[in-house]
Structure 1
Amino acid sequence: MKKFYLFVFSFFFYLTSFAQLTPFEISKGQKTTTYSECISFYKQLDANHEEVKMLTYGLTDVGKPLNLVVLSKSKIFDPKILRQQNKAILLINNGIHPGEPEGIDASMILARDLVKSKSLPDNLIICIIPIYNIDGALNRGSFSRANQNGPEAYGFRGNAQNLDLNRDFIKTDSKNSYVFQQIFNQWNPDVFVDTHVSNGADYQYVMTLIETQKDKLNPILSQFMTQNLVPNLYEKMKKSGFEMTPYVDHIYETPDSGIVGFLETPRFATGYATLHNTIGFITETHMLKPFAQREAATASFLNIIIDEVSSKAKLIIATRKKANEQVAKQNLFPLTWVLNKDSAKMIDFKGFEGKHKPSEISNQSRLYYDEKEPFTKKIPQLNKFEPGIEVNKPLAYVLPQAWDKAIRLLKLNNVKLQQLKHDTTLNVEMYYLEDYKTSPRPYEGHYLHSNVKLKKVLTAVNFYAGDFVIFTNQTTNRYIVETLEPQATDSYFAWNFFDGILGQKEHFSAYVFEDLAADLLKKDPNLRKSLNEAILSDDKLKNGQAQLNWVYQHSPYFEKTYLRYPVARLITPTKLNLK
């Protein structure tokens, strides 16, 4: 490995002896570029090469614009024209966690060397986000990643709002996420790569890999990815000197107990990409390996993925087209996923023996990995996920215009929305929340909802001119369903978009309602019978106030919108007057 790295490093210097060098190269692998150095580098590359264009998008939370560097051999930089020309598109995202910067440096060298050597593929457009979390990159230091082996200084994980941007792809609390989604949906990449560094166990590999969870990905794309793409990535990375293993999330204390596949829900980068039928990869180099090795491994992967996507461009484009057509017609959608714990397969793993010794801090037993005792052994890998909750899509969702953030994000993600021309009463299926759990502590600025239990009610609801109708015959169906169905793991409801419905707005004065409730029970024997049955089955109703509240909740006076999820499901074909 060391010999290979020295060769790679020498090759870079030979190749770039007459070109602009990066801070990584000048420092011989000790430093990562700063934000200003990175942007200046790409500006110069843009100025010197017609095949490079650095585009500027909207502002991030720190007030600086997000950039996209596009490498196009044809010197065309319009995504619509490029799609018409049947070009495949690869999007590389760097610095979502700026303390994990090797992708930033590797992409700079990659872009320069591709254009300098005239090696850009004809059929592939390479898009690079130089640094996504600009905010964190500017918050530079040397101590925030205590377990990481270099570089000398680096950025911070949180952005200007102290958000982890790799949890922000659905809730979109940051401007960074909003602008990223503009880029993603404008360019509609076929393959997406997000570059990272892992924490956790010690082992022999420099690089581990997360690919889009195969069971969550559209079956047509999943088959292509697992059979035509992933095996080649592993084989070629091994030949390059950087043998990979799947991302190491171990079952018990050490990896030899087995590892579990990463379930990337839509809050994560590759989980978000999955909603758009984009094959995603997260490169996770190992924190304890020297920074220069980690950069070299990332560079190898990026070169290999470019070769793979270019060589299979027509097949990838055709496969995605079939997947999109299938999703537009798909009826049943999984909302949650469950790990099958009986589906382990054995894989080869190169690790270090995990041992214990007394802690010098507490004198209690502590774990350490003995790098003098490497091993290669078979370990179990659990990587089969099965649908938990599933739902049949409606013909359309009806979303009142009041819920502006949801509407803006749906539009941002290329969802086609139409509006009612006139005030209209529709017979629709509405959800009522019978139960849900809310996290006791905030997670990324939200108190997440989960374990949602629903009651479906067919009812007539008044909608108004300008309210939105979202038909589910679209290639964006997965984004539509997994955000608008409240039981989905990362639905808009889970992220508190609709919390206004959780509060009761009207109530009663007990001393007045007592007489009215008594009259209701006299006039409606079935209501009295239901109350008596409820008292027998629920100890909480032994209390007189609780009984009075029960009558109120089952009376015409109780507000129909309390705990009613605001997004309607249109089940039966209905003639609508739309604009």
Structure 2
Amino acid sequence: MKRFILQRVAPQRLLSLLLFGVVVFGSNIGFAQSSTDLSYLLTAPERSSFEETTRYDEVMAFLRVASAQSPMLHLTTFGYTTKGRAMPLVVFGDVADATVESVRASGKMPIFVQGNIHAGEVCGKEALLMLIRDLAEGRHRNWADSLVILMAPIYNADGNERVNLFNRPRQNGPLAGMGQRPNAQGLDLNRDHMKVKSPEARSLLQVFNTYDPKVVVDLHTTNGTRHAYHVTYSPPLNPNTAPPIDTYLRKTWLPEMTETIRERVGWEYYYYGNLPYRRGDPGWYTFDNRPRFNNNYVGLRNRMAILSEAYSYATFEERIMATLYFVEEILNHAADQRTAIEQVIATAEAIPLAGMDLGVRFQPSMNQESVEILMGDVETLRNPYSGSSYYERKDTVYTQTMPEWGAFEPTETARAPAHYVVSASAASVVGAYLDTHGVIYSSISEADERELEAFTIDSTTVSSREFQQIFERTLFGSSSSKWVAVEEGSLIVSTSQPLGRLVFYLLEPRSDDGLVNWAQLDKWLEPGKDYPIYRSID
């Protein structure tokens, strides 16, 4: 199958040609309407022998041209970056336009795929551009029978434009540089899903709240351990994720895709992991349980989430293609198994939380059986433009048997209440966060007295180091039942809603990633006083 034509074209000339077509011919470009051949429409890597990555203006021009070729492609925006750049969203499906109303009216299952949350990890952006071009040429039309696909190829658009030859210096290309990890505020957008301090994250949550994608795919590049996989992946890692979602991803979806890609291209994919750095027991260790990370956050929303991490020491071209194959197979499975996926989600949403013990603190857990990990090696090469060294994978492949630490387990739990009562004094702050996350709640119109469970604060500790511009806080204390004067304007937040697991994680006083951790309730945290959010006694 012909996928692209490599030729060297100056980026300024390419951008001028694309913009000329959009401006002169408008959204219906005459020269392309008579043909589905878009071989002239190249990404920056394709036209530069994979030495460059696509810049923001080029991305926007590319998307305008591609979306004009098919009535099934619709280009819109879903928010703005810190620097005011519009964040593009391409909607593919049997829909009239890109609006939430049209997507919902279609009756098809929405899936959201994003690239470039870390703008030095650019293979996802390039893979999505190539996929959008394929869709514009008429490929994969069968997906529209059951899916609406929402694609955001350049989420961290500001970081994308801060190209530097010394960003991610050990990564194997693009040799002409790539963007930076944080956004323009200096925030890591893949740590911002709970505290939501960036305009980008606020915009992303609006996508989740309105389009309500049933599956979310997040595309990255990984480095570190010298393994032999082209892509490593992960389902949600927080143990509070509904078991039906975790089971379906681990037992069905991810293993089936691994086998399909092995048969298709002969490449190996496996669960994300690394060997310990310098010290620690040998093993294959996954990353983190906290919902500040995209895939863990989505899991707490009772939705499917898949993390993709292309191997950074593979060539830039291979990383792009490995990511593209992965996304294609995710969408193939989703299209074929739409009913099964929706049934799993419905089952997860129907699980009552009240009275259930859920985790607030966690530790890695070791799988019962050791696994064979495919290991590799690299050679050191020199970037001809920067003079710095980088790694390129060798063809060496060998197996190493080791324990796998691929999940987490609670070290501390709390009982999920039927509902929380947020004191009137904290209602404005907490309510704003609940609104941002799409949580349903109500306000108390008349003061009364209720028997509730209160968390009485003994002490607090604050991190000695700032993280993401915040000093994280930990709360200590004990719970007991008491009669509480509930003032008018207090909030009732039920856990009997699709976002009930997220509600628990945001509001619990001992949560390792909730509002307390992110120092958003400091005003109310005094030793000897009650935490300003009470729990119902059921």
* TM bracket (short chain): 0.7 to 0.9
Q: 1:26 aligned to 2:47?
A: yes
Contact 1:98–1:157 (8 Å) recurs in 2: yes
Closer/same/farther in 2, CA of residues 203 and 87 from structure 1, 3 Å limit: same
Distance 1:58 1:422 in 2: 38
> Cα distance, 1:484 vs. partner?
0.2
Partner of 1:339 in structure 2? 364
Letter in 2 for 1:194: D
What aligned pairs does 1:425-574 form with structure 2 within 5 A after superposition? 425-450=449-474, 452-502=475-525, 562-571=528-537
Task: Indicate which of 223, 233, 247 corresponds to 2:247.
Answer: 223
Contact 1:89–1:125 (8 Å) recurs in 2: yes
Q: 1:40 aligned to 2:61?
A: yes
Distance 1:335 1:302 in 2: 33
Task: Indicate which of 212, 217, 236 corresponds to 1:188.
Answer: 212
Distance 1:318 1:80 in 2: 23
> Cα distance, 1:68 vs. partner?
1.8
Q: 1:161 aligned to 2:182?
A: no
> Cα distance, 1:206 vs. partner?
2.4
Partner of 1:400 in structure 2? 423
Partner of 1:235 in structure 2? 259
> Cα distance, 1:466 vs. partner?
2.4
Bigger shift: 231-240 or 290-299?
231-240
Partner of 1:98 in structure 2? 119
Q: 1:387 aligned to 2:379?
A: no
Closer/same/farther in 2, CA of residues 445 and 475 from structure 1, 3 Å limit: same
What aligned pairs does 1:405-424 form with structure 2 within 5 A after superposition? 405-424=429-448
Task: Indicate which of 4, 25, 40 corresponds to 1:12.
Answer: 4
> Cα distance, 1:85 vs. partner?
4.9
Cα deviation per residue 1:137-156 (whole Å; 9 max; x = unaligned)? 12222212111111122111
Task: State the SS of the aligned residue for 1:43.
Answer: helix
Task: Indicate which of 164, 171, 177 corresponds to 1:141.
Answer: 164
Bigger shift: 223-232 or 404-413?
404-413
Contact 1:24–1:32 (8 Å) recurs in 2: yes
Partner of 1:322 in structure 2? 347
Cα deviation per residue 1:455-513 (whole Å; 9 max; x = unaligned)? 22433333333221112221211011011001111011011011112357xxxxxxxxx
Closer/same/farther in 2, CA of residues 399 and 215 from structure 1, 3 Å limit: closer
Cα deviation per residue 1:285-334 (whole Å; 9 max; x = unaligned)? 12222111111111111111110111111110111011111156673322
Task: Indicate which of 196, 201, 208 corresponds to 1:177.
Answer: 201
Distance 1:73 1:208 in 2: 32
Cα deviation per residue 1:389-433 (whole Å; 9 max; x = unaligned)? 222222321113543343122123232111111233333222112
The alignment's TM-score, normalised by the length of structure 2, stands at 0.85
> Cα distance, 1:370 vs. partner?
9.8
Contact 1:88–1:314 (8 Å) recurs in 2: no
Closer/same/farther in 2, CA of residues 83 and 257 from structure 1, 3 Å limit: same
Bigger shift: 400-409 or 259-268?
400-409
Distance 1:26 1:330 in 2: 58
Task: Indicate which of 199, 204, 213 corresponds to 2:228.
Answer: 204
Closer/same/farther in 2, CA of residues 286 and 271 from structure 1, 3 Å limit: same
RMSD: 2.7
Partner of 2:11 in structure 1? none
What aligned pairs does 1:84-123 form with structure 2 within 5 A after superposition? 85-120=106-141, 121=143, 122-123=145-146
Cα deviation per residue 1:223-270 (whole Å; 9 max; x = unaligned)? 221222011111122222321132232136499932023333110001
Bigger shift: 121-130 or 46-55?
46-55
Contact 1:201–1:255 (8 Å) recurs in 2: no
Bigger shift: 230-239 or 455-464?
455-464
Bigger shift: 440-449 or 376-385?
376-385
Distance 2:354 2:212 in 1: 20
Letter in 1 for 2:533: V
Distance 2:429 2:75 in 1: 30
> Cα distance, 1:567 vs. partner?
0.8
Closer/same/farther in 2, CA of residues 226 and 20 from structure 1, 3 Å limit: same
Task: State the SS of the aligned residue for 2:305.
Answer: strand
> Cα distance, 1:16 vs. partner?
5.2
Contact 1:32–1:154 (8 Å) recurs in 2: yes
5+ residue gaps, structure 1 = 1-7, 356-367, 505-561, 573-579
Task: State the SS of the aligned residue for 2:125.
Answer: helix
Distance 1:220 1:272 in 2: 16
Task: State the SS of the aligned residue for 1:179.
Answer: helix
Cα deviation per residue 1:119-149 (whole Å; 9 max; x = unaligned)? 2311011111121112211222221211111
Instruction: Report which of the two structures shows the higher radius of gyration computed on alpha carbons.
Output: 1
Bigger shift: 429-438 or 171-180?
429-438
Closer/same/farther in 2, CA of residues 353 and 160 from structure 1, 3 Å limit: closer
The alignment's TM-score, normalised by the length of structure 1, stands at 0.79
Distance 1:370 1:220 in 2: 37
Closer/same/farther in 2, CA of residues 12 and 379 from structure 1, 3 Å limit: farther
Letter in 2 for 1:135: D
Partner of 1:577 in structure 2? none
Cα deviation per residue 1:79-100 (whole Å; 9 max; x = unaligned)? 4564465422221111110000
Cα deviation per residue 1:150-180 (whole Å; 9 max; x = unaligned)? 1122111111110111111001111111111
Letter in 1 for 2:162: N
State, as a whole percentage, how many aligned pairs show the same letter. 25
Bigger shift: 71-80 or 148-157?
71-80
Contact 1:214–1:226 (8 Å) recurs in 2: no
Letter in 2 for 1:156: Q
5+ residue gaps, structure 2 = 7-35, 380-390
Task: State the SS of the aligned residue for 2:351.
Answer: helix
Closer/same/farther in 2, CA of residues 101 and 488 from structure 1, 3 Å limit: same
Bigger shift: 429-438 or 252-261?
252-261
Closer/same/farther in 2, CA of residues 346 and 446 from structure 1, 3 Å limit: same
> Cα distance, 1:209 vs. partner?
1.6
